[in-house]
């Protein structure tokens, strides 16, 4: 199940909950109004408005635009804002607005996934999500009584994309925007592709199994039905159904975006027009942005980092980032305080700290004028391992130095370049019929915990290479960009490369003692990423490998903020499948989206580690 649906259920449930003191206070002190707000082209968007009854002061407006429904519908049914830190905005007297975006749920119009921004609008029919936001804000400030003419927009995941698009609207009343885990780029990173490789489980489950892509002929309050696939073993299901054409048959002709996925295998104009980073220079200097993300966000870790960096490089506004040790939306999820993920403990309720010290002060400053200076640092980042927040004047920190960690013969890993030899490599056979699983055990759907899972299950496989350092004699902190720089040769014409950076905990288990922590010998995944080999030179123009020719495969992984403690080891694992998280590469240079069973073949993969062909991981070492 696509995780955003879990967040919706946990964070903004469709059904009204039993009465609590908070919910009773909400109903007593707030009114709810549902109405249609007209856009410039005549389309009307369904909008729910929660306004304080208190008229003693003028109130700021805080809005979220969503494709996931502004339910519950009906003016007597109140959204569950009081289930997490959003209740603080109620106490502060915010007017809270939620809107169904164009073409979704109760709004009119046609829906388009990650609708491209149009920077050259000329006619009233030239609309995009930025213009819809502008028209909504304009209507709100002119028609809602007792508003203070200051508006903020925020949202998580897909609503995070709409928050970024809101920032491009340039409405003068828009003072603060917080894209959180924002959908940003669906080919290079985020939900459905990473470096051109299809993130199979998320794409299939979201668009087909959970029905997000099903057509909605007219406004409705009823969502699509989920599709049963007859098994809770996702590995078995995707392997049995094999090729993408066979999986496409589940969608039929009704899921438009799935068909578009299958029709655009390369980074063409379709994808480039949907890269919002290309347009962030349109953000007005007067609109402050706060980018929020999770270091272990399986869906949109890329989106948070890359959106922040793009705004830093292209816009002239005040721009901040906060990254915590969270899964997708954990910083705002009810029932999860951000103190752990899977087996990994972070030592404090990080979600609560974030709400109290970052998000609420940010909006209060820009929308209510609380405080004399912006209280938020440029970069607020939680360093895992050390388990400590760092508030920094820039990201990456000024003390960061790119340092090469070299793969060595015999599974060794250190900071010394290998000695020059005729050739030195480690090899494995990648078999698409037996792909490396992304997680241990039987899984019904993609887990959020895989981002920190123990990797010992993978280390035992013959098709996974393992390199590790000696035991560290002092702490090693990494903060910033992480790059895999491999020298490879393959027996076929295409292959994927998955690089995983792992924190190996000491194993000091003593038989008969029960006071030992579960993390003994744990191989914690800190960062992992896939690269579809055909895109090693260009995402626009893929090229085949020349069999047995040594080739560079170099690519960026999402930024890292982690301290490897004294007594631990660094480990690097390399493999060519990560299933069914990522679709299988046939290991033959064909159109994978239309590949046949006969196209899939075994390949021998060599990772070279000689002085002439030295594979390495470029680490952001921070002092």
CATH of the domain at 436: 2.60.120.260
Residues 140 and 15 in one domain: yes
Number of domains, the chain: 2
179 and 318 in a single domain? The answer is yes
pLDDT given for residue 292 in this prediction: 98
* For residue 429, pLDDT beyond 90: yes
Report how far residue 614's alpha carbon sits from residue 369's, in angstroms, rounded to the nearest whole number: 55
Q: Are residues 27 and 84 in the same domain?
A: yes
| pLDDT classification of 315: cutoffs 50, 70, 90 | very high
Give the model's confidence band at 231: pLDDT under 50 very low, under 70 low, under 90 confident, else very high.
confident
Q: Which residues, in sequence order, are bridge partners of residue 412?
A: 468
Q: Are residues 353 and 417 in the same domain?
A: no
Query: Tokens representing 542?
Result: 């893929």
Final residue in a domain of this structure, among 392, 424, 454: 392
Q: Confirm whether 240 is domain-assigned.
A: no
Each residue's pLDDT tens digit, 356-414: 999 999 999 999 999 888 889 999 999 999 999 999 999 999 999 999 999 999 999 99
Q: Are 522 and 479 in the same domain? A: yes
Mode of pairing for the β-strands spanning 379-383 and 319-324: parallel
pLDDT value of position 10 = 40
Report pLDDT for 12. Answer: 43
What are the angstrom distances between the C-alpha of 523 and each of 412, 424, 459, 501?
16, 26, 9, 10
Q: Same structural domain for residues 407 and 372?
A: no
Which residue, 332, 359, 392, sits at the end of a domain? 392
Question: Contact 156/181 with Cβ under 8 angstroms?
Answer: yes
Say what the pLDDT of residue 513 is. 62
Q: Over 60: is that where the pLDDT of 18 sits?
A: no
Q: Return d(Cα 236, Cα 526) in angstroms, integer.
A: 27
pLDDT of residue 13: 41
Q: Judge if 431 and 487 occupy the same domain.
A: yes
**Residue-level pLDDT at 20:** 85
Q: In this structure, are 285 and 308 located in the same domain?
A: yes
Residue 116 · residue 268 · CB < 8 Å:
no
- Above 80 in pLDDT, residue 8? no
- Confidence grade of residue 420 (pLDDT, cut at 50, 70, 90): confident
Are both 607 and 543 inside the same structural domain?
yes
Judgement on whether residues 383 and 482 belong to the same structural domain of the protein? no
Segment 265-278 shows an average pLDDT of 97
Mean pLDDT taken over the chain: 94
Q: Are residues 511 and 577 in the same domain?
A: yes
pLDDT for 333 equals 82
Q: b or e along 515-543 (b: 16 or more beta carbons within 10 Å of the residue's beta carbon)?
A: eeeebeebbbbbbbbbbbbbbbeebeebe
**What pLDDT, on a 0 to 100 scale, did the predictor assign at position 334?**
65
> Are residues 510 and 385 located together in one domain of the fold?
no
- Mean pLDDT check: name the lowest of 247-261, 460-474, 485-499: 247-261
Six-digit token string for 203: 């794409």
Q: Tokens representing 46?
A: 């369904």
Q: What is the pLDDT of residues 470-517, one digit of tens each?
A: 999 999 999 999 999 999 999 999 999 999 999 999 998 666 665 557
Q: Is 227 inside any structural domain?
A: no
Distance of alpha carbon 16 from alpha carbon 49, whole angstroms: 16
Position 42 in a domain: yes
Domain assignment present for residue 204? The answer is: no
Q: Answer whether 175's CB lies under 8 Å from 147's CB.
A: no
CATH number at residue 357: 3.40.50.1820
Tell me whether residue 365 is in a domain: yes
> What is the SS3 assignment for 250-288?
HHCCCCHHHHHHHHCCCCCHHHHCCCHHHHHHHCCCCCE
Instruction: Please report whether residue 578 resides in a domain.
Output: yes
Phi, psi of 316 (to 5 degrees): -120, 20
Phi, psi of 73 (to 5 degrees): -85, 150
pLDDT, greater one: 65 or 3: 65
> Which one of 370, 392, 414 terminates a domain?
392
CA–CA dist 495, 54 (Å, integer): 62
Residue 526: predicted pLDDT: 98
Give residue 602's pLDDT band: very low, low, confident or very high (50, 70, 90): very high
Average of pLDDT values for 122-147? Answer: 98
Residue of 565, 364, 560, 415 whose CA lies nearest to 479: 560
Residue numbers of the domain that contains 359: 3-185+274-392
Does the structure show a pLDDT above 50 at 79?
yes
Give residue 523's pLDDT.
Answer: 98
**Burial letters 353-372, b for 16+ CB under 10 A, else e:** bbbebbbbbbbbbbbbeeee
Beta bridge pairs of residue 44? 38
101: nearest Cα among 143, 152, 59, 153? 153
Does some domain include residue 260? Answer: no
Mean pLDDT calculated for residue range 593-616 = 97
Residue 555: in which H helix or E strand, if any?
A: strand 551-564
CA–CA distance, 305 with 343 (Å, rounded to integer): 25
Indicate whether 4 pLDDT > 70. Answer: no
Provide mean pLDDT across the span 305-325.
98
In a domain, 574, yes or no: yes
pLDDT digits 0-9 by tens, 524-564: 999 999 999 999 999 999 999 999 999 999 999 999 999 99
> Per the structure block, which two tokens stand in for 605?
């993969």
- 213: pLDDT confidence band, cut at 50, 70 and 90? confident
Asked if pLDDT for residue 19 goes beyond 80, the answer is: no
Give residue 421's pLDDT band: very low, low, confident or very high (50, 70, 90): confident
């Amino acid at each position: 199940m696509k995780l955003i649906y879990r967040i919706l259920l946990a964070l903004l449930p469709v059904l009204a909950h039993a009465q609590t003191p908070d919910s009773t206070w909400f109903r007593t002190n707030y009114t709810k109004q549902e109405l249609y707000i007209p856009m410039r082209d005549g389309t009307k968007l369904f909008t729910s408005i929660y306004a304080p009854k208190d008229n003693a002061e003028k109130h700021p407006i805080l809005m979220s635009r969503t494709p996931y429904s502004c339910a519950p519908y009906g003016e007597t049914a109140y959204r569950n804002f009081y289930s997490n830190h959003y209740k603080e905005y109620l106490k502060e007297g915010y007017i809270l607005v939620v809107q169904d975006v164009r073409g979704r749920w109760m709004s009119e119009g046609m829906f388009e996934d990650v609708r491209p921004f149009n920077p050259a609008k000329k006619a009233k029919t030239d609309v995009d999500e930025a213009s819809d936001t502008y028209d909504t804000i304009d209507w709100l400030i002119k028609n809602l009584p007792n508003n203070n003419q200051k508006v903020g927009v925020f949202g998580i995941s897909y609503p995070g994309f709409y928050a970024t698009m809101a920032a491009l609207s340039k409405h003068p009343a828009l003072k603060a925007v917080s894209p959180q885990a924002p959908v940003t780029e669906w080919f290079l990173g985020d939900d459905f592709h990473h470096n051109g490789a299809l993130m199979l489980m998320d794409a299939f489950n979201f668009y087909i199994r959970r029905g997000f892509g099903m057509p909605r002929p007219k406004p409705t309050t009823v969502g699509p039905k989920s599709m049963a696939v007859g098994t809770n073993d996702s590995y078995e299901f995707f392997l049995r159904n094999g090729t993408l054409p066979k999986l496409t048959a589940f969608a039929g002709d009704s899921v438009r975006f799935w068909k578009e996925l299958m029709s655009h295998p390369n980074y063409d104009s379709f994808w480039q027009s949907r890269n919002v980073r290309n347009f962030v220079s349109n953000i007005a200097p007067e609109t402050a942005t706060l980018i929020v993300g999770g270091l272990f966000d399986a869906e949109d870790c890329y989106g948070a980092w890359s959106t922040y960096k793009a705004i830093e490089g292209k816009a002239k506004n005040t721009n901040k980032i906060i990254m915590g040790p969270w899964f997708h939306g954990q910083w705002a999820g009810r029932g999860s305080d951000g103190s752990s993920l899977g087996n990994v403990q972070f030592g404090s309720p990080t979600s609560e700290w974030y709400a109290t010290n970052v998000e609420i002060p940010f909006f209060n400053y820009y929308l209510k004028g609380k405080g004399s200076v912006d209280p938020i640092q440029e970069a607020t980042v939680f360093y895992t391992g050390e388990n400590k927040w760092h508030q920094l004047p820039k990201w990456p920190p000024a003390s960061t130095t790119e340092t090469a960690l070299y793969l060595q013969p015999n599974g060794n890993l250190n900071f010394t370049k290998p000695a020059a030899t005729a050739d030195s490599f480690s090899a494995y056979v990648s078999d698409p019929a037996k792909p490396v699983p992304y997680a241990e055990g039987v899984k019904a759907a993609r887990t959020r915990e895989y981002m920190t899972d123990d990797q010992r299950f993978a280390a035992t496989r013959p098709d996974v290479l393992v390199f590790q350092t000696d035991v560290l004699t002092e702490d090693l902190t990494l903060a910033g960009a992480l790059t895999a720089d491999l020298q490879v040769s393959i027996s076929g014409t295409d292959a994927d490369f998955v690089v995983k950076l792992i924190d190996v905990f000491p194993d000091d288990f003593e038989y008969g003692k029960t006071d030992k922590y579960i993390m003994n010998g744990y191989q914690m995944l800190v960062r992992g990423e896939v690269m579809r080999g055909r895109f090693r030179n260009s995402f626009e123009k893929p090229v085949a490998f020349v069999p047995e020719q040594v080739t560079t495969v170099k690519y960026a992984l999402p930024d890292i903020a982690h301290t490897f403690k004294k007594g631990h080891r660094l480990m690097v694992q390399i493999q060519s499948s990560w299933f069914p998280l990522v679709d299988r590469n046939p290991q033959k240079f064909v159109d994978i989206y239309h590949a046949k069973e006969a196209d899939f073949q075994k390949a021998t993969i060599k990772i070279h580690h000689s002085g002439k062909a030295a594979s390495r991981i470029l680490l952001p070492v921070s002092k």
